[in-house]
Copies of this chain bind each other. A is one copy, B any other.
């Protein structure tokens, strides 16, 4: 029988195949501290038909298949396992259509999320989910992890915008799930099930997303506080208000300090205990909303309140927030990015607990994130060349997850489970739910070849 490599060479031209050392560039995502193996080969298909042929070939040889987008993930979900076939969708970058009348777009999985959003914007429409990585991550990767972002506090996460998927099943069969219509209940909702499944149920090659009319040009507010409690109180009032901020972000003292050290031009007040970044994009109401958010902040004791009314001002505020990951990696060379989510009423306990863990472990933790929906990203900085530091970072990371779960929260709000958090699923789900999830996985992938060792 021909080898898998022989079969792959039959399916793809040489420039769409990487083997040996050239394949190692695709061995992992952006997460620090996750394990990964060495792929046998990396395939760079350009069509759903090629993906189907590749899946069938891998299936014949019993080779594990690891799908990849742009490998910007932070949980190891796209990491190779030894001897696997990596299926990178990075060359499937066609924007198939943007339909103004039906307010939908269909794109191939390798399209950058930012490019999708830009294509929508060009015709007066809007794709809201904006993960931190959106300029470099693909819509296929966003679908795999059910990615969130800053605007999700108002608009919802990736799943809320996915109408339909083209999926290559483990058998190599190609199915189209979902619909183009706004509503539809024909059959079980496999679309929602596949979103967030991190490549364990099938390979998504094409995505149809819902779009909305473009909102107003946002007006942003930066409010700095001398206590965290005051910032939390202001955020609570904003969430309770009938006005719905399109962005409601939090930065703690360590986040502000790290960003200010990393980028002295950042607009953040370097000595703040806590900062809120708030936006309104509600047509006809942006200025009124921003004034209201400023007033709430002042009422709660803000020491500085700035309103950014033009695009440059708003972009500068948000750019500061987006630079945190790089800033924390710069502290000691590497970082572990948490992604915990708790019921909003438990946020104060979460932040107090993180302080306590940081002090006890003597590890720097900067916490920022989507305070509006209770999804925070504590970032643990560590030195990857120092085994003690690596060990402490991992221990710290686990403690923070345990804390979040003990507060009724979850180990992952939007980054995914990957390899990094599988251990926590046991406790979070319990034995019956785990068995049910495995049964569903088995229904899709009886041989267990799709992204083994991830998510489940």
Q: Residues of A at under 8 Å CB distance from B?
A: 99-104, 124, 145-146, 148, 152-153, 156-157, 159-160, 169, 173-177, 179-190, 192-193, 195-197, 200-201, 212-216, 236, 239-244, 282-285, 288, 341-345, 370, 373-375, 408-417, 421, 424-425, 428-430, 432-434, 436-437, 439-444, 455-456
Most buried by B among A169, A186, A409, A428: A186
Residues of B within 8 A of A236 (CB): 101
The chain B residue sitting closest to A198, CB to CB, is B185
Residues of B within 8 A of A410 (CB): 179, 181, 183-186
Let me know if B414 and A152 touch, CB within 8 A.
Answer: no
Distance, CA A421 to CA B189, complexed state (A): 16
The chain B residue sitting closest to A411, CB to CB, is B186
**Shortest Cβ gap from A357 to chain B (Å):** 20
A-B residue pairs, 6 tightest by C-beta: A182-B373, A192-B192, A439-B443, A101-B345, A183-B413, A184-B410
Most buried by B among A182, A197, A200, A344: A182
Let me know if A344 and B102 touch, CB within 8 A.
Answer: yes
Q: A175-B432, A242-B213 are known contacts. Are A441 and B188 too (CB-CB below 8 A)?
A: yes
Let me know if B185 and A413 touch, CB within 8 A.
Answer: yes
Select A189's contact among B183, B195, B456, beta carbons within 8 Å. B195
Residues of B within 8 A of A433 (CB): 175-177, 187, 190
Most buried by B among A124, A345, A415, A436: A436
> 11 interchain pairs (CB within 8 A)?
A157-B183, A174-B432, A181-B375, A182-B375, A185-B413, A188-B437, A189-B197, A193-B193, A213-B239, A213-B241, A285-B285
